[in-house]
Amino acid sequence: MSDDHHDCCDHHGHHHELVIENVSVSYRRVLALENISLATSCGNRVALIGPNGAGKSTLLKAIAGLVPRETGSILWRGTTVKKWSREFAYLPQREDVDWSFPITVRGLVEMGRYPQTGWWRKFSTTDSLAVDKALESLGLLDLQDRQIRELSGGQQQRAFLARSLAQEAHVLLLDEPFTGLDRNASQLLGELLNKLAHEGRLIIASHHDLNSVPQLFDEVLVLATRSVAFGPVAEILNDDLIHKTFNERAIPK
Amino acid sequence: MDFDLLHNLFYQRALATAGFIGFANGFFSGFVVLRRNALSVSALSHTMLPGIALGIFLTGSLSQWNAFFGALFAALLVGLGSVAVARGNRVEQGTALAVLYTAAFAGGIALLPKIGTRQELEHWLFGDIIAVGNTDIWIAFGIGTLILLVTNLLMRPILLTLFEPHVAAAQGVPVRFIQYLIFTLLVLALVSSLQAVGCVLSVGLLVTPAATVSLLTDRTSALFWGGGLIGGIGSIVAVLLSGSFGIAPGPAIVIVLGLLFIAAYLFSPKYGLLAPHHRSRINEKSK
Does B90 score more than 90 pLDDT? no
CA A241 to CA A234: how far, in whole Å?
Answer: 12
**Looking at residue A4, what is its pLDDT?**
43
Q: What average pLDDT does this structure show over B40-48?
A: 83
Strands A71-76 and A17-27: antiparallel
Could you tell me which of A203, A171, B70 has the C-alpha nearest to residue B62? B70
Lowest mean pLDDT among A169-178, B102-111, B215-224: B102-111
Could you tell me which of A77, A48, A82, A73 has the C-alpha nearest to residue A173? A48
The mean pLDDT of chain A is: 86
Using a pLDDT cut of 70, give the percent of chain B over it: 90
Under an 8 A CB cutoff, do A61 and B154 touch?
Answer: no
Ranges A75-89, A140-154, B37-51, most confident: A140-154
CA A195 to CA B86: how far, in whole Å?
Answer: 43
**Looking at residue B117, what is its pLDDT?**
63
Lowest mean pLDDT among A168-177, A183-192, B5-14, B60-69: B60-69
Does B265 score more than 50 pLDDT? yes
Lowest mean pLDDT among A19-23, A92-96, B169-173: B169-173
Under an 8 A CB cutoff, do A101 and B218 touch?
Answer: no
Does B282 score more than 60 pLDDT? no
| Helix/strand/coil percentages in chain A, nearest 5 | 40, 25, 35
**Looking at residue B171, what is its pLDDT?**
80
With CA atoms as reference, the chain B residue closest to A110 would be B156
Could you tell me which of B24, B13, B31 has the C-alpha nearest to residue B179? B31
Q: In the sheet where A79-80 sits, what is the strand order?
A: A30-41, A17-27, A71-76, A79-80
In terms of pLDDT, which residue wins out, B22 or B111? B22
Q: How far is CA B171 from CA A34, A85, A201, in A?
A: 25, 8, 20
**Domain map (residue ranges) of chain B:** 3-272
Locate all alpha helices (DSSP H) within B87-193, ordered by sequence: 93-111, 118-126, 134-153, 155-163, 165-170, 175-192
Q: What average pLDDT does this structure show over A59-68?
A: 91
Could you tell me which of A88, A68, A107, A55 has the C-alpha nearest to residue B169? A68
Q: What average pLDDT does this structure show over B154-162?
A: 91
**Looking at residue B121, what is its pLDDT?**
64
Size of interface A-B (CB pairs under 8 A): 57
Lowest mean pLDDT among B24-38, B106-120, B164-178: B106-120
Q: How far is CA B71 from CA A207, B120, B261, in A?
A: 52, 15, 29
Q: What average pLDDT does this structure show over A185-205?
A: 93
Residue A160 pLDDT class (50, 70, 90 cuts): very high
CA B223 to CA A147: how far, in whole Å?
Answer: 14
**Looking at residue B274, what is its pLDDT?**
82
Residue B286 pLDDT class (50, 70, 90 cuts): very low
> Touching check for B287 and chain A: CB below 8 Å?
no
**Looking at residue A162, what is its pLDDT?**
95
The mean pLDDT of chain B is: 83
Does B48 score more than 70 pLDDT? yes
**Which residues are CB-neighbours of B104 under 8 A, at least 6 positions away?**
B47, B50, B51, B74, B77, B78
Residue A120 C-alpha, separation from nearest chain B C-alpha, in angstroms: 7
In terms of pLDDT, which residue wins out, A30 or B63? A30
**Looking at residue B283, what is its pLDDT?**
45
Residues of chain B contacting A91 with CB distance shorter than 8 Å: none
Does A11 score more than 80 pLDDT? no
> Which of A103, A127, A163, A171 is the best mutation test for B, with the most CBs of B within 10 A?
A103
Strands A45-49 and A219-224: parallel
CA A194 to CA A205: how far, in whole Å?
Answer: 12
Residue B196 pLDDT class (50, 70, 90 cuts): confident
- Which domains, ranges and CATH numbers included, belong to chain A? 1-87+202-253 (3.40.50.300)
Dihedral over alpha carbons B244, B248, B249, B253 (to 10 degrees): -100
Could you tell me which of A134, A94, A81 has the C-alpha nearest to residue A112? A134
Q: What average pLDDT does this structure show over A222-227?
A: 88
CA B219 to CA B145: how far, in whole Å?
Answer: 23
Residue B120 pLDDT class (50, 70, 90 cuts): low
Under an 8 A CB cutoff, do A83 and B154 touch?
Answer: no
**Looking at residue B3, what is its pLDDT?**
59
**Looking at residue B278, what is its pLDDT?**
56
Does A236 score more than 60 pLDDT? yes
Residue B47 pLDDT class (50, 70, 90 cuts): confident
CATH superfamily of B3-272: ABC transporter involved in vitamin B12 uptake, BtuC (1.10.3470.10)
Using a pLDDT cut of 90, give the percent of chain A over it: 51
In terms of pLDDT, which residue wins out, A228 or A151? A151
Residue A79 C-alpha, separation from nearest chain B C-alpha, in angstroms: 18
Q: For A66, which of B154, B163, B166 is closest by C-beta distance?
A: B166
**Looking at residue A253, what is its pLDDT?**
43
Task: Identify the DSSP state of B4.
Answer: G
Cβ-based burial of A186 (10 A; exposed 0-12, middle 13-18, buried ≥19): buried
In terms of pLDDT, which residue wins out, A186 or B275? A186
